[in-house]
Amino acid sequence: MKKSLCWIRRDLRLHDHYALREALHEADECLVAFIFDELILDKLHNKNDPRITLIFDSLKEIEHELNKHGSSLIVRFGNPVEEIPKIVSEFKVDGLFFNHDYEPYAHRRDTEVEKILRAKNVEVFHYKDHVFYEKKEILNGSREIYKVFTPYKNKWLETFRAQEEHIPEYKCNLKKLSEIKNSKNILDHDWLTEIGFLETECVLTGGSKEALKRLENFENFITNYKEARDIPALEQTSNLSAYIRMGNLSIRDMIRLAVEKDNAGYATWLSEIIWRDFYQMILEAFPHVDKHCFREEYDSIKWLGKKSDFESWCDGQTGYPLVDSAMRCLNTTGMMHNRLRMVVASFLTKTLLIDWRLGEKYFAEKLLDYDMAANNGGWQWSASTGVDAQPYFRIFNPYNQSEKFDPKGIYIRQWCPELANFSNKSIHSPHDTEMEEQLGAGCVIGHNYPHPIVGYKLQRDRALSMYKAVK
């Protein structure tokens, strides 16, 4: 074909990009476009949302690279179902290329765009790029979707090894980019004002260069990843999740590192990548999980928690130090350690007895790395309502979790500084200390830091009764 258009969405990079590679290969010249989707942005009530900053960082990096080849990123704001056909008509495009997105809204959007363009005799091509294996590529012996992770993982690995661990790299020949000048390019036009957001700081710098640098740095401590990843004070996770979400890295970038050595740390990293494929597959195959429990009988649970307790959880004021530290970190940075995501989710659902959907929604508003499939899967796992979820009677004890994964209270002291002068033993449950110790620590419970808003043991019994009622 003469001219192609690559529509980038959650794949904000110019390397190892399947749709872009094909768009460049199949046409004499290629355009690249990004749409600020008003239907998504309208749902973001915080107009200082730092995720927009990460997107802008990525788009600016892409624009600089396109400029080197005399091209420019086509940027629009609106409904993609309307904007993509407009771009196709304006630039006389023969074919549209994009990578799959498995979220329910994205699937409907992409289907509608394809329908409109095919009616105009414009070819449409779309590809698997966001995951390594899609829905129908990993099936059980009955040719059905796996609903338990471990056999899915085993089949994933079996399939991968049968391919002799071939990891393709989709190299993009940017010399075939269309030479265009763009008066509303991402560098010169005030897009923030146009889309209704304000400039804000972010704890991360977006873009593929930073992502690849962090991936390379992760290799320095991935050997110990299996053990160290559970200790939030060590900061020895990859810290790549936001970049993965934005598509600054490809799934293949990650897997190449994961299979580099035969070591428990590398294997654990690969397992986390497989979990990602698993949750994307579940969302694609069972889109009802967006609003409902995967195990539909749990939709009838009568959640007993109070609104005031939910607000205390959001604010990091529950009187449970590890939970409060994690929530304060989230509210300040937009990031949360994976172990702590499980702790605070179990606490909300099984100690405060509050619907997991409220927690999922709050995370969706705050997390820099928010991904519907992973967020939904994680919350439903913790609430025991989801695919391959922990049993409903497995309830994290927040005190035990604190003592085990922050034994010296390093993380708690960072995010709950009012507790800093308690001993390593007392800091996990400061409300149990004598007043003399509280005065010595400069923190009176109930004055400088809240009493626990609920009693763990009592709430555990209530949780078990709440779940048993629907069994």
Residues belonging to the active site: 272, 275, 303, 338, 356, 379
- Overall size of the chain counted in residues: 471
What is the phi/psi pair of residue 3, to 5°? Answer: -135, 130
> Which ranges of 197-294 does DSSP label H, i.e. alpha helix?
208-218, 225-228, 241-246, 251-258, 264-285
Buried b (16+ CB within 10 A) or exposed e, 52-63: bbbbbbbbbbbb
The answer to whether 324 and 413 have CB atoms below 8 angstroms apart is no
Q: What angle do CA 229, 234, 240 make, to 5 degrees?
A: 55
Q: Are 298 and 384 in contact (CB under 8 A)?
A: yes
What's the CA gap between 367 and 378, in Å, rounded? 13
Angle at 364 between CA 84 and CA 150, to 5 degrees: 100
Rounded to 10°, the helix 356-366/338-346 angle is 150
CA–centroid distance for 31 within its chain: 28
Angle (deg, nearest 10), helices 251-258 and 208-218: 10
User: Smallest Cα–Cα separation from 365: which of 36, 48, 130?
Assistant: 48
